[in-house]
């Protein structure tokens, strides 16, 4: 870290969520509130929303986040907390407290780590089940990722597939 709460990644400066919250409190005191809400939580993933509201309960800014419990060692035990932090960071960025980049240092570091991870075993099983049910076809994987070998998918790619299938299947129901 070059200065407290700021991390340089690939030549760009990213602020931690802790620094953004501190700046938020210094600038707005108790005039604005940060409110978080769990949108979805289960054994696979957590989705959260963070809102910044004024004293009249008007929403000034929002941020959303999604975390998969299998995406990292931290998420295995603390997906809810990690997701809440990401949602808060995105709401603060929406308010204008984002530094030179919209994503927080925490989000960028997590995204880089996830991109380097091979597909989690449970996600591989889920995709194989989608293929068996006919909800997904191998040519779709080939078109999207340049190959149709499930074991070669990155974890982040598996997330895209699973989210897409879940969304499409939910719309059909």
pLDDT in tens, 89-125: 889 988 988 755 555 545 555 655 555 567 778 888 8
- CA proximity to 65, closest of 120, 11, 17: 17
Contacts of 18 (CB under 8 A, 6+ apart): 5
SS3 call for 11: coil
For 24-36, the three-class secondary structure string (H helix, E strand, C coil) is HHHHHCCCEEEEE
Instruction: Indicate the pLDDT class of residue 153, thresholds 50, 70 and 90.
Output: confident
6-27: pLDDT as tens digits: 776 666 677 788 888 999 999 9
The tokens for 138 are 């191998």
- Asked if 97 and 52 count as a contact pair (C-beta separation under 8 A), the reply is no
pTM: 0.60
**What's the CA gap between 79 and 67, in Å, rounded?**
6
């Amino acid at each position: 870290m070059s200065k407290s709460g700021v991390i340089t990644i690939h030549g760009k400066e990213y602020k931690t969520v802790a620094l953004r919250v501190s700046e938020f409190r210094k600038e707005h005191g108790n005039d604005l509130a940060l409110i978080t809400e769990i949108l979805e939580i289960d054994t696979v993933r957590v989705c959260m929303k963070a809102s910044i509201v004024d004293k009249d309960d008007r929403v000034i800014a929002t941020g959303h986040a999604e975390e998969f419990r299998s995406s990292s060692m931290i998420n295995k035990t603390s997906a809810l907390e990690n997701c809440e932090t990401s949602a808060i960071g995105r709401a603060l960025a929406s308010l204008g407290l984002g530094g030179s980049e919209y994503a927080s240092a925490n989000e960028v570091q997590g995204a880089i780590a996830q991109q380097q991870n091979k597909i989690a075993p449970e996600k591989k099983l889920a995709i194989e089940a989608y293929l068996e049910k006919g909800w997904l076809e191998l040519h779709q994987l080939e078109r999207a990722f340049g190959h149709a070998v499930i074991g070669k998918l990155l974890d982040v790619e598996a997330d895209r597939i699973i989210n897409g299938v879940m969304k499409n299947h939910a719309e059909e129901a």
